[in-house]
């Protein structure tokens, strides 16, 4: 057991409580929070660590990244979603070859150094499996299914199932196989339904992209616009497979993270117990011409969380960079309040969405925590904001109570 005494502890409870000069006793779970002197008396064999000038917080959760695109820097085109998509089609096989085990390992390390304990990665090819399994991160591995051409549905399903079954072999307390239905414009209902049924049967987490671009909105709402032309390359008379509502309906009963949702305002069809929105601010700026209305989600009681997306649509996998982008983009919010909301969204709210027993510094929760240096003299009311403005990386990252070596 360890007793850790930082200067400040951000619990990430709903009241956004900050404790000063208190300590946390933990092994794989958090056992007790209190005065260091009392914890030392109670747990005589525990190792005592005092970390002056530091903040302790729950480790971040990045629920949406595409690790297989980690080799991208300048190969893809930004500014318009369909131009980006065409560039992905042209470059994806080269990019995925370049994203070898070393590249993916380093992408994971970047996230961990920024305090991320849990990573949700969308895997298109299965080439990131080895690096994910070998890593010291907690991983939710979303096996992607897509395909719109009726002739190839069987081939697409077999390819998905092979990757999925392979990932299941590595299931552990740190590695959770899951499912990603790519999007309504790319995934035939037969494939989507089969994958969602599998998720329901096996109680798997699901991730999907929804309402990311103006083109997707025009396509799903009216069957017109850029997607009509774009999909016309693959079939003679393309028609949308779904409306927004019929797409969401398929996910009834499946715990799902809907990524982007930038062009949606009514979340009435969501089941707010198990459906949440993943917000990727940097990615939306590069591909979507619009950002998510966070206040609208708060008003409709829909949990949201914060993802980086992949380096296919971001310049950094440092989670603190993504949080700073959010701080700058959502200028309609009070700055200090926004900082608190972003920290909650990245920890306890995301843990609830993924049904993980962590994300809060609370007795009984799994001890996934990160420690950051250099905040000893910060006023408590300023802490969330100052932390997001200045933190570059963590000093220590604990996963289930074990301190990881991040060198």
CB of 229 to ligand MCF, least distance (A): 16
Question: 196-199: long-range contacts at Cβ-Cβ below 8 A with a sequence spacing of 24 or more?
Answer: 196/250, 196/251, 196/254, 198/164, 199/254
How many CA within 13 A on the CB side of residue 387?
30
CB of 66 to Fe ion, least distance (A): 6
Q: Which residue is nearest to Fe ion (CB)?
A: 309
Nearer to ligand MCF, 167 or 312 (CB): 312
**Phi and psi of 16, rounded to 5°?**
55, 55
Whether 391 and 370 have beta carbons less than 8 Å apart is answered as: no
Residue 355 CB neighbour total at 10 angstroms: 10
* Binding partner at 56 among Fe ion, ligand MCF, none, C-beta below 5 to 8 Å by kind: none
Nearer to Fe ion, 216 or 309 (CB): 309
Pairwise CA distance, residues 286 & 128, whole Å = 24
Nearer to ligand MCF, 309 or 368 (CB): 309
216 binds Fe ion (CB under 5 A): no
Residues forming the site for ligand MCF (CB under 6 A): 66, 69, 88, 122, 124, 144, 182, 186, 209, 212, 283, 287, 309-310, 312-313
CB of 283 to ligand MCF, least distance (A): 6
DSSP 376: T
Whether 62 and 319 have beta carbons less than 8 Å apart is answered as: yes
5 φψ region: left (φ > 0), alpha (ψ -120 to 50), beta (else): beta
Whether 309 and 64 have beta carbons less than 8 Å apart is answered as: yes
Residue 41 CB neighbour total at 10 angstroms: 9
| Residue of 35, 42, 68, 212 marked active site | 212
Pairwise CA distance, residues 185 & 204, whole Å = 23
CB of 309 to ligand MCF, least distance (A): 5
* Binding partner at 138 among Fe ion, ligand MCF, none, C-beta below 5 to 8 Å by kind: none
Nearer to ligand MCF, 6 or 310 (CB): 310
Find the helix or strand (DSSP H, E) in which 155 lies: helix 153-168
* Residues of this chain, 301-340, that bind Fe ion according to CB under 5 A: 309
Nearer to Fe ion, 66 or 396 (CB): 66
CB of 21 to Fe ion, least distance (A): 42
Active site residue 50: no
For Fe ion, the binding residues (CB under 5 A) are 309
Q: State the catalytic residues.
A: 212
């Amino acid at each position: 057991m360890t007793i850790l005494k930082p200067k400040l502890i951000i619990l990430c409870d709903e009241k956004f409580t900050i404790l000063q000069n208190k300590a946390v006793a933990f092994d794989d779970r958090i056992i007790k929070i209190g005065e260091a002197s009392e914890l030392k008396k109670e747990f005589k064999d525990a190792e005592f660590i005092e970390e002056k000038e530091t903040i302790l917080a729950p480790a971040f959760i990045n629920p949406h990244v595409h690790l297989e695109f980690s080799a991208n820097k300048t190969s893809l085109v930004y500014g318009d979603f369909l131009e980006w998509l065409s560039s992905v089609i042209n470059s994806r096989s080269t990019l995925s070859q370049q994203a070898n085990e070393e590249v993916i390992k380093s992408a994971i390390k970047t996230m961990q150094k920024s305090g991320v304990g849990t990573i949700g990665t969308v895997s298109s090819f299965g080439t990131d499996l080895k690096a994910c399994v070998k890593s010291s991160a907690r991983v939710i591995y979303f096996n992607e299914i897509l395909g719109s051409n009726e002739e190839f549905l069987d081939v697409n399903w077999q390819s998905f199932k092979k990757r999925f079954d392979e990932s299941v072999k590595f299931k552990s307390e740190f590695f959770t196989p899951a499912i990603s239905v790519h999007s309504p414009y790319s995934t035939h209902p037969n494939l989507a339904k089969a994958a969602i049924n599998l998720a329901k049967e096996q109680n798997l987490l699901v991730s999907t992209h929804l309402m990311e671009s103006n083109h997707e909105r025009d396509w799903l709402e009216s069957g017109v616009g850029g997607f009509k032309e774009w999909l016309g390359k693959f079939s003679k008379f393309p028609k949308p497979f779904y409306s927004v509502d019929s797409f969401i309906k398929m996910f009834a009963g499946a715990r799902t993270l809907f990524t982007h949702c930038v062009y949606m305002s009514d979340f009435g069809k969501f089941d707010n117990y198990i459906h949440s929105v993943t917000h990727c601010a940097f990615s939306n700026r590069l591909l979507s011409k619009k950002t998510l209305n966070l206040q609208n989600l708060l008003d409709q009681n829909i949990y949201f969380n914060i993802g980086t997306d992949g380096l296919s649509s971001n310049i950094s996998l440092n989670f603190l960079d993504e949080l700073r982008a959010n701080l700058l983009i959502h200028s309609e919010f009070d700055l200090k309040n926004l900082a608190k909301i972003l920290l909650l969204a990245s920890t306890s709210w995301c843990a609830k969405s993924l049904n993980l027993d962590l994300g809060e510094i609370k007795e009984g929760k799994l001890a996934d925590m990160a420690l950051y240096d250099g905040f000893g003299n910060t006023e408590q009311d300023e802490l969330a904001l100052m932390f997001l403005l200045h933190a570059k990386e963590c000093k220590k990252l604990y996963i289930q109570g074990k301190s990881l070596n991040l060198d």
